[in-house]
């Protein structure tokens, strides 16, 4: 499965709400393969379908293991069922390259959804993993981590964000 182009901040697709997946068919399996290939190529920790231009509720979160291993948690129609505590830590996004900011997230989350074979899954995640799931689920509702930082911080990043927007426009004009 080919690596897909990651859509950048400013691309309107990142601001739309993704649709629930009704049936896990070839199209969805293809999308899952594309997400996994793309997040690995970018050495990212997570990716959501709208980031490769597909408005479906599918995410992948990567759990780094020993020896550079990467375990992929693919969740279809993920929903957070409970969240506990608060954790403030640095966050980044493949769609907003080069920008990092501290974002407040739950310390732990419980979520449910389906795996690519259609089975129900229940996941409990803490710390960085909880952060990654919350971040990717936000993408499915058109929310970016820069929406969750203070206005002061956002205004400090404005120039960089505008540069990424310019790149996004170029990409939309001449897609790969």
Q: How far is the CB of 96 from Zn ion (least distance, A)?
A: 7
Query: Minimal CB distance to Zn ion: which residue?
Result: 93
Say if CB 134 and CB 148 are below 8 A apart. Answer: no
Q: Is 86 a known active-site residue?
A: no
Q: Does 93 bind Zn ion (CB under 5 A)?
A: yes
N-term to C-term CA, the chain: 15
Residue closer to Zn ion by CB (options 24, 164) is 164
Of 86, 136, 163, 170, the active-site residue reads 136
Stretch that binds Zn ion, among 79-87, 90-98, 101-109, 113-121 (CB under 5 A): 90-98
Q: Does 75 bind Zn ion (CB under 5 A)?
A: no
Q: Does 62 bind Zn ion (CB under 5 A)?
A: no
Q: How far is the CB of 95 from Zn ion (least distance, A)?
A: 5
- Which of 42, 10, 3 is CA-nearest to residue 161? 10
Residue closer to Zn ion by CB (options 9, 116) is 9
Q: Which helix (H) or strand (E) holds 80?
A: strand 70-84
Angle made by CA atoms 23, 27, 30, in degrees to the nearest 5: 120
Q: How far is the CB of 47 from Zn ion (least distance, A)?
A: 7
Three-class secondary structure of residue 136 per DSSP: helix
Tell me the Cα Rg of the chain.
16
Size of the site for Zn ion (CB under 5 A): 1
Residue closer to Zn ion by CB (options 93, 161) is 93
The alpha carbon dihedral of 89, 93, 98, 99 has a sign of negative
Catalytic residues: 136
**What residues make contact with Zn ion under the rule CB under 5 A?**
93
């Amino acid at each position: 499965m080919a690596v897909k182009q990651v859509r950048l901040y400013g691309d309107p697709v990142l601001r739309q709400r993704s649709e629930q997946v009704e049936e896990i068919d070839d199209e969805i399996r293809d999308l899952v393969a594309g997400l996994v290939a793309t997040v690995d190529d970018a050495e990212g920790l997570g990716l959501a379908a709208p980031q490769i231009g597909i408005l479906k509720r599918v995410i992948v979160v990567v759990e780094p293991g020993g020896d550079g291993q990467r375990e992929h948690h693919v969740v279809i129609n993920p929903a957070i069922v409970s969240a506990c505590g608060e954790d403030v830590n640095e966050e980044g996004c493949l769609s907003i390259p080069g920008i990092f900011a501290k974002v407040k997230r739950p310390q732990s989350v419980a979520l449910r959804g389906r795996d690519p074979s259609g089975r129900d899954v229940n996941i409990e995640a803490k710390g960085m993993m909880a952060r990654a799931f919350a971040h990717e689920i936000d993408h499915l509702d058109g929310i970016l981590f820069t929406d969750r930082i203070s206005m002061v911080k956002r205004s400090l990043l404005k120039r960089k964000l505008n540069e990424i927007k310019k790149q996004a426009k170029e990409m939309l004009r001449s897609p790969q």
